[in-house]
Amino acid sequence: MGRLEGKVAVITGAGGGIGRVAALRFAAEGARVVVADLDGGRAASVAAEIDAAGGTATAVTVDVADEAEVGAMVGAATSTYGRLDVLFNNAGIFPDDDGGVLDTPPGTWARVMDVNLKGVWLGCRAAVPAMLESGGGSIVNVASFVALMGAATAQIAYTASKGGVLALTRELAVEYARQGIRANSICPGPIETPLLAELLADPARRQRRLVHIPLGRFGRPEEIAAAALFLASDEASFVTGSALVVDGGITAAYVTPE
């Protein structure tokens, strides 16, 4: 049996990057997956990949900052599959003009908070009642290593939003610990996704960050999906309120190897 056999999982931002890889991996481990993304076409494409591989998936178009759409996303899981066991809040944004505290436009700040923090809150808010009806579940929220340390290459809205995800997840974990719901965060380092490639298209900007990673490379989506799978599965049955750091050693380093 797979590690998620018999479970129903909702994954946001599942149309590409980490979310797509996680959706494929969760399905391969036996989960029935609701593939949720702002781009409905991309969500449908990933769901079709899962179905073609012998898995079970349903595509849903969702803006995670919209309460009604998030409610419909969770409703799609319960109406289609009868339960909800796992929520992987993976969707997030990092706009180009998210910079220092004096440079970031208020509109950018608001949009980042809407997606990265409010979106996680709305997902949890919709999922918890469904998980309670299902007898419990696991919530996995994507934070970031930048929630644990500061950087001179500022990204103030993104950093603040991810710090909020850590605090929200801890509170949720403690509140529902006796009711069978676990909640944990993942704190990824820079991961090789199309978003990162776009942000670090300038070789100098890319190297500015790469030099701080002890392992000497950026992470891969598969490595974050594996962490999410562990936290989602019963193998992590005694893990809640934690922040799993998957960053190639960045937060452990003072000076990196030459």
Of residues 243, 245, 85, the one with CA closest to residue 173: 243
254 is annotated as an active-site residue: no
Burial class (CB in 10 A: 0-12, 13-18, 19+), 56: middle
| Selected catalytic residue, list 81, 158, 176, 254 | 158
What is the rounded distance in angstroms from the CA atom of residue 113 to the CA atom of residue 117?
A: 5
The residue behind tokens 């005694």 is: 238
Q: C-alpha distances in angstroms, 138 versus 8, 172, 180, 201, 237? A: 11, 11, 8, 36, 9
Q: Which helix (H) or strand (E) holds 52?
A: helix 40-52
What is the rounded distance in angstroms from the CA atom of residue 123 to the CA atom of residue 87?
A: 8
Instruction: Please check whether residue 105 is in contact with residue 41, taking contact to mean a CB–CB distance below 8 angstroms.
Output: no
Count of helices and strands (H, E) across the chain:
9, 7
- Catalytic annotation, residues: 158
